[in-house]
Structure 1
Amino acid sequence: MMPLRSILIVDNEENQRFIVEQALRALACDWLIVTAASAQEALETLARSTPDLIITDYHMPAMNGLELITQVRNRKLGSRIILITAYSSPELHAAAQRLNVDHYLTKPVTITNLRRLAALALEDSYPSDAAA
């Protein structure tokens, strides 16, 4: 039996967290989904557990999504990461690539695309039975 998959959603906008959470819950009711209202809250959550997937917004007060991702990578947690931004630029995209972000999404994000990328990231989090 495959272990329960876990997702951490990080966004300072409550409505965005809710939309992402509900979209993913509708896709798979057996995923453990935790939300954080800031990068700092996310780091506190990460001190207690390591999610399979982190979905984070870029633009947040105090610490942005890239700064959060840098901390995650420095801790060598191994989580898959999806970065969502309304402020896309070639520089931001390059920085995300340097941090091995799995998927980079520009707002507006479609629910279909978000679900597809989350499922893909979570599927890749575990070796298949054939690979074992």
Structure 2
Amino acid sequence: MIAKHLMIVDDHEDILFFLEQGIRQTWPNYLVTTAKNAQDALQYLKRNTVDLMLIDYKMPGMNGLELAEYVRGIAPRTMIVMMSSVDPPELKSQPGPFDAYLGKPFGISAIRPLVTAF
């Protein structure tokens, strides 16, 4: 069985660590990759395929919405989940370049249906 590949993009290392560890413990056969910013994520996506991306909305440089729009253009089959601790209206207006929205903070149980859906 081919493992699913998840990518977490967030500029906060503690959130990256929490999500990466939680996903690895819950789904040990999944490949988990992290990026601290949109630019690193895009560099990775140029060489790799990702099944699901968890993207933070508010990041320095390119924000999560801009990253999601770019990812949609180069990897339209990748499921994109936008995460945010703020509640900007543009994140609630579907359709957008993302498939789901999660307000921070959240636990691993909140992403379970999303991870198992792809």
* Band the TM-score falls in, shorter-chain normalisation: over 0.9
Q: Distance in 2 between matches of 1:97 and 1:22?
A: 31
Unaligned runs of 5+ in 2: none
- Contact kept, 8 Å, 1:58 with 1:65, in 2: the verdict is yes
The aligned counterpart of 2:38 is: 39
The aligned counterpart of 2:106 is: 109
The aligned counterpart of 2:116 is: 119
The aligned counterpart of 1:97 is: 95
The alignment of Structure 1 onto Structure 2 pairs a total of residues equal to: 118
Shift of 1:17: 0.4
- Deviation readout 1:30-81 (Å, 9 max, x if unpaired): 1011100100000000001110001110000001100000100111441011
What's the Cα RMSD here?
Answer: 1.4
1:1-132 equivalence runs, <5 A: 2-94=1-93, 97-99=95-97, 101-120=98-117, 122=118
SS of residue paired to 2:116: helix
SS of residue paired to 2:45: helix
Question: Which aligned segments of 4 or more residues in structure 1 are displaced greater than 3 angstroms?
Answer: none
Q: Residues 76, 28 of structure 1: CA spacing in aligned structure 2 closer, same or farther, 3 A cutoff?
A: closer
Based on CA coordinates, which of the two structures has the bigger radius of gyration?
Answer: 1
The aligned counterpart of 1:126 is: none
Shift of 1:14: 0.5
Q: Distance in 2 between matches of 1:102 and 1:11?
A: 17
- If the length of structure 2 is used for normalisation, what is the TM-score? 0.92
- Contact kept, 8 Å, 1:24 with 1:115, in 2: the verdict is no
Letter of the 2:95 counterpart: Q
SS of residue paired to 2:62: coil
Q: Distance in 1 between matches of 2:88 and 2:82?
A: 13
Letter of the 1:98 counterpart: G
The aligned counterpart of 1:130 is: none
- If the length of structure 1 is used for normalisation, what is the TM-score? 0.83
